[in-house]
Amino acid sequence: MSFQFNFDVSVDEEQHLSGEDDNKGNPENASLPTDSTNNSTETLKEAKELYTPTDLTAYESCAVDVVKVGDLELCFLNPDDVESELIISSFSQALKSEEDESDVSKAVDGHSDLIPKVYEGGLKVWECSLDLVHFLHDAEIPVKNKRVLELGCGIGLPGIYAVKKEAAAVHFQDYNEEVIEHMTIPSVILNKPEEDSTNQDLRYLSGDWSLVQKLLTSEEQCSKYDVILTSETIYSLESYDKLYDILRAVLRPTGVIYLAAKTHYFGVGGGTRSFEDMVKQRGEFNIEVCKTYTRGVKREILKMSFLEAAKD
């Protein structure tokens, strides 16, 4: 299915997207309450596959923002407009069904950028996702005709870049299905030509990484990925095992991972150094810093590949 939005497009990458004019793009300043959940009794968000809806007119009231990367324009729905739509639609649905508001709507309504294991910030343009997009372009990372997975995608800008660079398959995953449904899918469609004959394999998954891993690896035609992209996903030490496990399980033997994150997330303990140390201790991946950003909070792009592939 093809769909073309007819919106006015606003371009304001330097201030609105970088987070330099406010704290929205910086997980260090996000609302990050201490998580005291007992992992043994943790209720995991089930893995779901979501599909492009037949009717996308609900998003016609949303403005469109643009990130320019070289000669490419990556379009996405304005996050503030999507947040407003989610609050209105969720509240209306709750009144009709006598159910509570959704997790995402509660977080948005409460001005929380992150609530661990409830809402993982998928409606924000995080600084490191922009770093990753520009790195892929500047370093000329090949994605054409490759299978690409973006983990913790949120809006999905790195994955959208892969879509526009003619990857054979781009699969998007986020913790919250509402983020996929209301932000990722419409934003991906914005970047597809009205007459699209590429047969590009686009897929959308939500849920906890451990359950998404089971879904992907249990499929009869289990195809692994040439390139895995992820950004701002290692802010919490508690996420490391699940992220490592899914990366290890779905990466092709000769595949490569690009991970964008801050060197250290104050108050929650995560960051590139601690993640790098964990990966090295396990002895299965080569991991290296391939780009450092020193403007503002220090950030890095890490590259990972299987050690056995490096020996070949």
pLDDT tens for each residue of 117-144: 555 555 789 999 999 999 999 999 999 9
All domains of the chain in start order, with CATH: 1-312 (3.40.50.150)
Please give the Cα distance from 240 to 227 (Å, whole number).
Answer: 19
Q: How far is CA 272 from CA 24, 113, 240, 303, in A?
A: 21, 21, 11, 11
Confidence of residue 212 (pLDDT cuts 50, 70, 90): very high
Task: Summarize pLDDT for 273-291 with one digit per residue, the tens.
Answer: 999 999 999 999 999 999 9
As a whole number, mean pLDDT of residues 161-175 equals 97
Distance linking the first and last C-alpha atoms of the chain: 42
Rounded-to-10 torsion of CA 288, 294, 297, 303 = -20
Please give the Cα distance from 27 to 108 (Å, whole number).
Answer: 15
Q: 169: Cβ–Cβ under 8 A, 6 or more apart, which residues?
A: 146, 147, 148, 200, 201, 202, 203, 223
Please give the Cα distance from 47 to 36 (Å, whole number).
Answer: 23
Per-residue pLDDT at 299: 98
Phi-psi label, residue 47: left if phi above 0, alpha if psi -120 to 50, beta otherwise: beta
295 DSSP 8-state letter: S
Q: What is the largest CA-CA distance in the chain?
A: 60
Tell me the sheet residues that pair with 151. Answer: 230
Residue 23 has pLDDT above 50, yes or no: no
Confidence of residue 37 (pLDDT cuts 50, 70, 90): very low
Task: Summarize pLDDT for 68-121 with one digit per residue, the tens.
Answer: 999 999 999 999 898 887 765 653 444 344 455 566 655 555 555 555 555 555
